[in-house]
Amino acid sequence: METLKSTLPEQAEFSSPQRLANHITFMRKLKSILDYARYPGRDASRFPALPAGCGGEDQAAQWRVQCILMSAEMRYPMYLKLLEAHMLQSEKNGRRQGLEMVVPPWDVAIIFYAHMLAPFNYKRDIEQFFPKMWQGRAELPIAQMLASEHDDASEAAWNKMYPSIPYRILALNDKFVSISSSIYNPVDIRYHCFSTACRAKPARVFSMASWVKYRVGTAGLTCPSCRAVRPKSERGAQDTILKDSQARFGMPIFNLWDSPLRQFCKDGFVDRILALPALPANAVERYLRFLQLIKETGETVVPTLDIDLCWHTHQLAPFAYLTYCVTHLGRQINHDDTIRTETRSTAQDMTARLWALKYGESYFDPTNKGRTEEIRQRRIAYDNAIEQKAVILQQFDNDVSQKDLQESLRLAQAKVDEEKRKWTAAKDSANAMLAQIRQTQAAKQAVRPTLRLFKARFYSKPQQAELERLDRQLYAEKKEHHDRHQVDAALKNELYSYWMPPLNKCHAALGVEANKRRALQQLLEREVDEAEARCWQREVDGVPRMENYYDARSWYSMVPSEVTRFEVPAQTTRWGGIFVYM
């Protein structure tokens, strides 16, 4: 039994070795920024001061990371606006889009990256606020960013649109990261106030401490120039926050600042990827098989690191990713790394089971030939169990006694149906005669006396003759009804006393046999389920052993759910995990 390959086609957006290698290098760059924010050494003084009530090295490190990400979150829509304008100008000039892009500043690239890894949200947000950018099929320009430490053309384009807001607040090269020393408080929030008094003025600066309180809805915000007050937003008022951000800052502020923390937390996805050797040669094929499982089963399946890297790489070309999913899978596939731990645990087992049954190898140990052969043998046993179940049940159904019971039931049912038809006809006949009696009685009552004296009634001779005729008719009809009712009662008694007992006896006998068949089927299904479980569950000396889903030394592993949690200072906690706009 050969290991099946996927029937889905490869596509350069996820299968190119260079794109995959660039993605890993890009993640290393982004991680170096966050590592620098955690441990900046003597540059710590260039970051905003730690808020009152927070202290210690851990909270200071978390605060600096938060400052970088919240600043980048505010700058991100500025970059999107610039990118959309660049794409519109390229279209106007007749240049081919997608060859050269305005690249984002490195801090903004972290938010851009995280946004693309939530494809449903990314498509919704970009189509709503920057539709030309979506139509222009913008991708994350990783190769362009890695080709040069700094893109002068992009900085010039930024400075032209935002002359009072710096493009570069971080400097990167292959050896180190540093925060700008030429900008006062480089990580503080710089924005254009859209009040009438400030609209044409240069960008204003909010301290990060003030911005954080406003950002999470615990305090209002006052423009340092026009003194316009931005009141704090009510929690959960997402539409109001979005509307306010458009009016106050001229662009939406997406709730993305903490999204990168799930990818870049300690021992998380990025840490594990960067600690591993070269990507296995079968990664792309495994990714295609993974997508095929989603298409064929509709189940929630969980990727291993190699598959997830290809999946993330694919999503960094959002338009191509959507087109591929719709064309080959029939729908867009979301990427959700916030699945609850208990749901994820069930999904992991489901993925391992589906993979072994379809592809004949261990999901977490595909290169282990002994394990693959073990699964192959167990799949044969599983197929045999399914076949044996069908054979045994068919033998049970074909048993002579079963057929005799079925034939007896058929004959008894046919006789009961025949007798029921006779009884129904007799009952209908009796009811018809009863209706005729009532009609005759009504006709008799319709004959009115010509004279009434107390209780005496006097009729004319023609009336007397008519009443006598009706009395004779009524007598005959009542006698006929009595006879018909007798036939009705006799047929009913015969049906329930003579013909129904054999039918009930047949039903009871078949009920016993049905219970036997049900018990046999449950036993056989249990054997099939056990054979199926053995296909993907690992055993050592006959004892079931859980495969290591979380082996940090292997590409064929996952990141534990609990690793993706990253604590931030208490006063900045998000609101219930929903998307927040301001």
* DSSP character string of 91-134: HHTTPPTTSS-PPPPHHHHHHHHHHHTSHHHHHHHHHHH-HHHH
Contact between 19 and 13 (Cβ < 8 Å): yes
What distance lies between CA 506 and its chain's CA centroid?
50
CB 101 within 8 A of CB 138: yes
What's the token pair of residue 238?
């997402």
> Residue 63's pLDDT is what?
92
| pTM of structure | 0.78
Question: What DSSP line would sit under 536-562, residue for residue?
Answer: HSEEETTEEE---TT-TT-SS----GG
| CA pair distance 373, 356, nearest whole angstrom | 11
- What's the pLDDT at 347? 87
Task: Give me the pLDDT at residue 223, please.
Answer: 56
Measure the CA–CA gap between 230 and 75, rounded to whole angstroms.
19
Residue 475 confidence (pLDDT): 94
Helix/strand/coil (H, E, C) string of 147-158?
HCCCCHHHHHHH
pLDDT at 582: 26
What's the pLDDT at 184? 73
Mean pLDDT for each consecutive 10-residue tract of the chain (582 residues)? 76 94 96 93 88 83 92 93 90 62 94 96 93 89 90 93 90 82 77 60 72 70 54 50 63 86 88 95 96 92 96 96 96 80 77 93 92 92 95 89 88 95 95 95 91 85 91 94 95 94 93 93 95 83 73 90 49 35 26
* Contact status, residue 47 vs residue 64, Cβ threshold 8 Å: yes
